A and B are shown apart, each in its own frame.
Chain A
Amino acid sequence: MEKLKYERPFIKKLNAGLMNKFGTRTEYTPHTHIDGVAVKELVAKYGSPVFVISEKQIRRNYQNAVRAFKTRYPKVQFAWSYKTNYINAVCNVFHQEGSWAEVVSGFEYQKAKGNGVPGNKIIFNGPDKTVADLELAINDGAMIHIDHFDELYELQELLTRLNKKARVAIRVNMDTGIYPMWDRFGFNYESGQAWNAITKIMASDNLELTGLHCHIGTFMLSTAAYGVAAAKLSDLAMNIKSRFGKIIQYLDLGGGFPSANTLKGSYLPGADIVPSIDEFAEVITSTLLNYGYKQDELPLLILETGRALIDDAGYLLGSVLATKRLSDGRRATIMDFGVNILFTAFWYDHKISPAQEFTHHTEDMVLYGPLCMNIDVVRESISLPLLNKGDQVVVHKVGAYNMTQWMQFIQMRPNVVMIDVNGNPHLIRNKETIDTLHDMEVLPDYLKKFEL
């Protein structure tokens, strides 16, 4: 007989209070494998913590989203939102599936170009584009989405100087019934600012208005908001046609579809309340199809979906550093990952599963990260089996924004591994070392010596 696993003794408060209607739900079905590869094996080979990305899941998500839109509307194009996850291996999975690139900075632009995306399939968004960035984008024939008047004037000046033309769109912000309204990006629709910008562009010889763009928010839980957005952009497009006789080639509705994560403070788990991509697709496409475009003038529909396509393809594997009891009697578990690499822990109550078999006993606990900082809390309260030092956990749905917003603070960034569709793991980003730091630094000679 196999030796029984040691389980430390624990004291549990008798909870006679209100039960929620789901009973005492726990999240502790062990998650021992990812796409057929054992978690233990991944940790042994690539260290702990480690990010793991499922290529199969990315492709599945992408194909589902494409199907949802393409079976409802004749012209659809996705553009991978680089900021969501710009590791080249990830981007190229999307590009292999047919996605264009959406970038918001000079370096993202360089990355997209470096990955081989042709300039005219790069959408250049964002408030911060330097003159050098703009010049590059102009020469590549990229789609430049203008964010503010200063950028519009700067672009015009630059084009006159270069004696060139550029394909541009404007980002429009609008009231879609959602609070808070993201009115800091682009030109406002209701106030007439957007129309003002359009008029200026139409009057300009070297700007060609090819599209209209909006991105009404992220993790949007309302499908109706997209109907409003599609209608308002269509209204602009129709007016442009009737006033200037110009047919707008594309409407870019941005990103913002939610993933199945649970937002902090949400009563129900995310998977139960977020609308599916099909529901968003239905609202957007039926708004466009019914808006009154002529059949051959229907604009191309561009989507910059980020989060919804990658979140559930990413896992974070980590290990228990220590367990301790806090002064108020709560159990605390300290993990080797924290908000330094799991930035989204600020917004989400991430689902976390143990990576090995356990008994049925569970314990409420707080999960801390490894930082010597009070903010480093992964989950304020979670019911997990009794964890011991060295045990592994799997954090789910971490594919979006973590591998771009992670910080190198106290700890270095870990390895990132992608499991291909055949179940073979590949290292796609090396963990940082002390050399990563030192390579950047320049120590003036006079500071090289000291005596203690």
Chain B
Amino acid sequence: MIKKHNIQTLAEGIVHSYAQIFFSQDKVLGLLLMLCTFLDPVLGVCGLFAVMLANLVATFLGFDKTQIREGIFGFNALLLGMAIGYDYRLTPAFWVVLSFAILLAIIVQAWLTGILSKQGLPVVSLPFILTAYIVTLAIRQTQLLEVVNHNAYLLDNTFFNPFGVLDTLEEGTKSLSFPTMIKGYFLSLGAIFFQAKLATGVLVGIGLLYHSRIAFSLTLLSFCWAWVCIDLAGAEMHWLKYQAGANFIFIAIAVGCFYIVPSLYSYLSVMLLVPLTIMAHLAFFKLFSTWMLPVYTLAFSFITIVFLAMLRARSVHQYLQLIVIQYYSPEKTIYKSLSSASRYKNNLFKHIQLPFWGDWFVSQGHNGKHTHLGDWSKAFDFIILDSELKQYHNGGTEKEDYYCYNKPVIAPADGHVIEVVDYVDDNNVAAMDMQKNWGNSIVIDHGDNLYSQLSHLKKDSLKVQAGSYVKKVMLLHPVVIQVGRPSLTFISNCKIMQRWALKQQTIPYRTTC
């Protein structure tokens, strides 16, 4: 028996998968978009089938329910279903191929997410594009599916046109007099759903406007700017009306208001990124035409990922503020960020203090040569040195000889202790524990996705237990051991990794003395 809340989860997952196309969780927008896909009934069916199957498979495979409900898997499948449905006749073999394609898409998405989320980056529509390429190239080698010219094929099947209104609608919108540029914009919106219909575009546009004025204005602005740029560059214009235009619509939302708090600077970034996206698109177009592959929204995916990676790599996060908590609504995001900025004026950064007293030296800092590599590169190791810059007295053969041994450790900021490891034997000098190389550790959750980990502590010396609340500077009295390598690390918990684990990826963070 399927429980009621499971059905609800699946239903929500379907609607959200449609809304996710525009980075939204708005159910009205989701339903409207679903309706739009059915303006081309073939594609509508393919899309819905793909979404439902993807969500079921993901649930079955044991992926996080929240992600499935948010339509994280569904939206890539939706695009995939429509893309494949656009090219081939709906034979029984078609459904088999589509089902496998969806399985592949989920696998690819899980893998890509694993790689990119560690750097705090999204996968955007890469899973769809990669899978579509594999499927398209593979099918060409077989006689399995029958290629169709989609538009002609639709006309052939007039019997499959239950909506007599459809044509009337299209005629109606066409009679309105849009400037060509605006017309191009709506055609692009429609092209996202593989439809070359102005009516679809207008409906989608209305949905988008309903969802967010910011997102709508950004997409319009971005598209028109792309139009102007292409015009100035003297490139061919017509392709922008179709799928290529989607690149500028998506990048406008992603950079303008989804991954970055909307501001004048985020609008400006979109304007700056449009020419880059054009460049990327033209390049990809040239590259993939060799194999006669469509480029879809590859340019948008690429530019978004590299731009976000660049923003994260900055040491000072000024002008453009990356979103920490995703509200799925640009308006809400901007409201929350303004109000938190005014409520916690000086608190954009948590004041983190070094976890000990007295003067210590950093023996290995961020991106250190020895062990601070890869995910664990943003950590500090601390030692105590005397006036001769030695770490020990009495010869340094015993751990007791080291100045850092048996020194108190304090909480770097307020928070909840969420993990305590207190049982690893103290290392002897020169020995290294390769298995448990974090040694005894303590992890504190400081809220707002900021965690700190203090490691290489003396066995059986921790004063606090998991679950206790510690105040900044409170004595944890775990005592530093593992000669020369007590370390402090900050960890940001990605949404994808819901649970904190030792050896989590580290992030740079500013500390005060």
Contact = CB atoms under 8 A, between A and B. Distances in A.
Interface of A: 59-60, 63-64, 67, 69-74, 282, 285, 289, 295
Given A70-B357, A70-B359, A289 B387 contact: no
Given A282-B406, A289-B408, A67 B474 contact: no
Given A67-B358, A295-B471, A295-B473, A72 B408 contact: yes
B408 A67 contact: no
B475 A71 contact: no
Interface string B92-103: 000000000000
Given A72-B407, A72-B408, A67 B386 contact: yes
Interface residues of B, number: 17
B370 to A, nearest CB: 23
8 contacts: A64-B386, A64-B387, A69-B358, A70-B359, A71-B358, A71-B359, A72-B357, A289-B477
Contact of A71 (B384, B471, B473, B477): B384
B403 interface: yes
Nearest to B394: A276
Contacts of A60: 386-387
A67 B473 contact: no
Contacts of A70: 357-359
Contacts of B403: 67, 71
Given A67-B386, A70-B359, A71-B359, 9 more contacts: A59-B387, A60-B386, A69-B358, A70-B358, A71-B384, A72-B357, A74-B473, A282-B406, A285-B408
Kindly list the 9 A-B residue pairs having the minimum CB-CB distance in the complex, ordered from nearest: A71-B358, A70-B358, A74-B357, A71-B407, A63-B387, A295-B474, A60-B387, A289-B475, A71-B357
Contact of B358 (A59, A72, A282, A289): A72
A70 B407 CA distance: 10
A282 B386 CA distance: 18
Interface of B: 356-360, 384, 386-387, 403, 406-408, 471, 473-475, 477
Contacts of A73: 357, 408
A70 B403 CA distance: 12
Nearest to A59: B387
A365 B356 CA distance: 53
Contacts of B358: 67, 69-72
Interface centre among A59, A63, A289, A295 (most CB of B within 10 A): A295
B386 A71 contact: no
A282 B474 CA distance: 18
Contacts of A69: 358
Contacts of A63: 386-387
B405 to A, nearest CB: 10
A60 B387 CA distance: 7
A69 B359 CA distance: 11
A69 B477 CA distance: 15
Given A72-B407, A282-B406, A67 B477 contact: no
Nearest to B408: A72
B471 A67 contact: no
B151 to A, nearest CB: 73
Contacts of B360: 71
